[in-house]
Structure 1
Amino acid sequence: MNRLFIWLYPYLTAATRERIQMTLNGKVVAITGGGTGIGAGLARGLALAGANVTVGGRRSEPLQTLADSVDSPLPIRTHTIDVAENASIEAFFSDIRDQAGQVDILINSAGINIAKRTMAEMDPDEWDRVLRINATGAYRCMREVLPAMRDRRDGLVVNVSSIAGKRAISLGGVVYCASKFAMTAMGTAVANEVRHEGVRITNVYPGEVNTPILDQRPVPVSDEHRESILQPEDIAELVLTICRLPPRACVPEIVIKPTTQEWV
C-alpha cells in the first residue's frame, strides 16, 4: 500500500481493507527497463501489492539483485530483455506467457538518452538507437500483449514517457524529445483504437527523476539536486493508483514533476 492508504488504514472497515489489498493480487505484470530506476521502483511497488511481476532489462545481475531485495507475496520473476532486439522482446513475453500467464498490465519503462544531445553534435546513428529503444521498443512490447487483452476485453498499458514527450525541452535533447513524443502519440492513438475493447492505456510524463539516466547529462548532477527531485518510489505510488482503478476508469495521461521544477 502507498503512504495514503497506510495513513487511512486504521480507519477503514475490514471489507474495505481486504478490497484494497486484493485489487492487484495475482495480476500478471510485465515491466521493461526494470533493473534500476523507475522500472525497479515500479516492480517493487507492484510486487508488494500482490502482483505477479516479471521484470526485464538488458543485464541479469541488477534484475536478480532487485528480486532478492523484495519480500513480496509472490517473488519477482526476472528475464533479460533488450527492447532494441525483436527476438529478445519475443522471448521475454513468451517466457511470461509460459510461466505466469497472459499479461494483465504492461509497463513500458525502458529508455535511454545520450550525452551529445544537440542537432550539431549528435551522431545520426544515435538517433536511430534512441528511437529504436524508446519508441519502437515500446511499440513492439505493446504488440506482444494487446491481442490477448483485446480478446478478453481487459488490460492496462502504462507508458513511462517524460515531460519531454509533451514539451520539446533543450534539457532532453533533440532525439530524446522526438522519441518521447513518438511514444506519446502511439499511446494516445492506440488508446483511441482499443477504448471499446476494455483496454486502457496511460501515458505518464515524469519530470526530473533521480535515476541512472542522469549520468548521461552533459553537465554532472549534484547529490543535492538528485535528492531534491522525484524519486522512483514517487512514480510507483502514482502508477499503483492507476493500476487499482476499476476497468471503467482510464487515465489517458498524467504529469508528475518535482515541486521546484518549472512547468510552462
Structure 2
Amino acid sequence: MKKTVLITGASSGFGQACARKFAAAGWRLVLAARRSERLEALRTELGGESEIHLWPLDVRDRSAVAQGFEALPAPFRTVDLLLNNAGLALGLQPAWRTDLDDWEQMIDTNIKGVTYLTRAVLPSMVERNSGHVINIGSTAGNWPYPGGNVYGGTKAFVQQFSRNLRADLLGTRVRVSNIEPGMAESEFSTVRFKGDEDKAAQVYAGTAPLTPEDIADIVFYVANLPPHVNVNTLEVMSIDQSWAPFAIHREAKGEVDG
C-alpha cells in the first residue's frame, strides 16, 4: 500500500530535499510550511498533484495545527511518517545581549511546534499500532557553543522529547527517531543571520558541509528499516567538523594578582 509522509518545513532545506526523496519513492506527501508559494512551486516540480497535499501552516499556531490535521483530505489522513523538520536558529548573541523575540520564536517553533504536530498525529498511529515520528534535532542539543544558548536548549528538548515518546510508546509498533545533523549548508545560516548572505557563507568557507540531500538520504534510510528496528538517535557531522577542546579562560597574571 502507498504510504503517506507529513513533512513540516517542507518549503526549503531538509524538508524540501526529503519531499523530493519520498516523492521519487512513490510516497504520498503532505507538505506543510508557511511559504505557500514555495510549496506550490515544489508540487509543480514533483508532479503527481493527486498524490501531494499542500498545507500552508505556521507550526506555532496550536489551533491551526489541530484543525488543519483534522481537515486533511481522506487519502492523506492516515499518516505513516511524521517528519518534524520545521525549526530555526536566530542570532549568535550572548545570552545577556540577545533579542527576546528571537528566543521566543525558537521556543515556539522548535519546541511547541514539534509537540503540537506530534500530539495531533500520534493518536491515530497508536490506534493503528503503526507509524513513525522522525524529529530533526541537532548536534547543538548535545554540544554547547557560544551564542547557541536557546537554540541548543530547544534541540536538547527535542532529544529528550524523542526519548520520552519512545518510552511512552513501548508495547506499540510506533517508532520514534531523532536525527541530529551538524554543520549543514541550507538556508539555516541565512536565517540565523537574518538574510546576511556574506555572513552565512563564512560559516561554510573552506569546508564540505552536509547538504539537505545527505539528510534526506538518512531520513529515508531510517524510515525504511524493517518495522521492528527503531533508530533512537543518529548524530551526523561533515568530515570537516569535530569536537573542540574544553574552552578555558585565562586571566593575565596582573589581573589575577590584583
Q: Which TM-score band (shorter chain)? A: 0.7 to 0.9
Choose 61-70 or 92-101, whichever is displaced more: 92-101
Partner of 1:175: 150
1:214 maps to which of 176, 179, 189 = 189
Q: Residue 106 in 1 paired to residue 106 in 2? A: no
Q: Residue 232 in 1 paired to residue 212 in 2? A: yes
Compute the displacement of 1:116 (Å): 4.3
Counterparts of 1:100 and 1:176 in 2: how far apart (Å)?
A: 32
Question: Percent identity over the alignment?
Answer: 28
Counterparts of 2:206 and 2:229 in 1: how far apart (Å)?
A: 34
**Larger C-alpha radius of gyration, 1 or 2?**
2
2:55 maps to which of 62, 79, 85 = 79
Compute the displacement of 1:141 (Å): 0.4
Amino acid at match of 1:261: Q
Instruction: Count how many residue pairs are aligned between Structure 1 and Structure 2.
Output: 239
Q: Residue 254 in 1 paired to residue 230 in 2? A: no
Compute the displacement of 1:146 (Å): 0.7
SS at match of 1:117: coil
Choose 34-43 or 254-263, whichever is displaced more: 254-263
Q: Deviations over 1:20-53 (max 9, x none)?
A: xxxxx61111000110000000111011111101
Q: Residue 205 in 1 paired to residue 180 in 2? A: yes
Counterparts of 2:151 and 2:41 in 1: how far apart (Å)?
A: 29
Partner of 1:158: 134
Question: Unaligned stretches of 5+ in structure 1?
Answer: 1-24
Counterparts of 1:97 and 1:184 in 2: how far apart (Å)?
A: 31
Counterparts of 2:130 and 2:211 in 1: how far apart (Å)?
A: 30
Amino acid at match of 2:212: P
Compute the displacement of 1:225 (Å): 3.1
Q: Residue 186 in 1 paired to residue 161 in 2? A: yes
Partner of 2:247: none
SS at match of 1:246: coil
Task: Identify if the C-alpha distance between structure 1 residues 217 and 86 changes in structure 2 by more than 3 Å, giving closer, same or farther.
Answer: closer
2:13 maps to which of 37, 55, 63 = 37
Partner of 2:248: none
Compute the displacement of 1:255 (Å): 0.9
Task: Identify if the C-alpha distance between structure 1 residues 224 and 164 changes in structure 2 by more than 3 Å, giving closer, same or farther.
Answer: closer
Compute the displacement of 1:71 (Å): 4.2
Compute the displacement of 1:73 (Å): 9.4
SS at match of 1:221: helix
Q: Residue 143 in 1 paired to residue 119 in 2? A: yes
Compute the displacement of 1:226 (Å): 8.6
Counterparts of 1:260 and 1:74 in 2: how far apart (Å)?
A: 42
Question: Unaligned stretches of 5+ in structure 2?
Answer: 194-198, 245-258
Q: Deviations over 1:54-90 (max 9, x none)?
A: 1110010111111111246964321111011112212
Task: Identify if the C-alpha distance between structure 1 residues 27 and 62 changes in structure 2 by more than 3 Å, giving closer, same or farther.
Answer: same
Task: Identify if the C-alpha distance between structure 1 residues 60 and 73 changes in structure 2 by more than 3 Å, giving closer, same or farther.
Answer: closer
Amino acid at match of 1:176: Y
Amino acid at match of 2:232: P
Partner of 1:241: 221
Counterparts of 2:155 and 2:105 in 1: how far apart (Å)?
A: 13
Choose 215-224 or 202-211, whichever is displaced more: 215-224
SS at match of 1:220: helix
Contact 1:198/1:247 (<8 A) preserved: yes
Counterparts of 1:98 and 1:197 in 2: how far apart (Å)?
A: 24
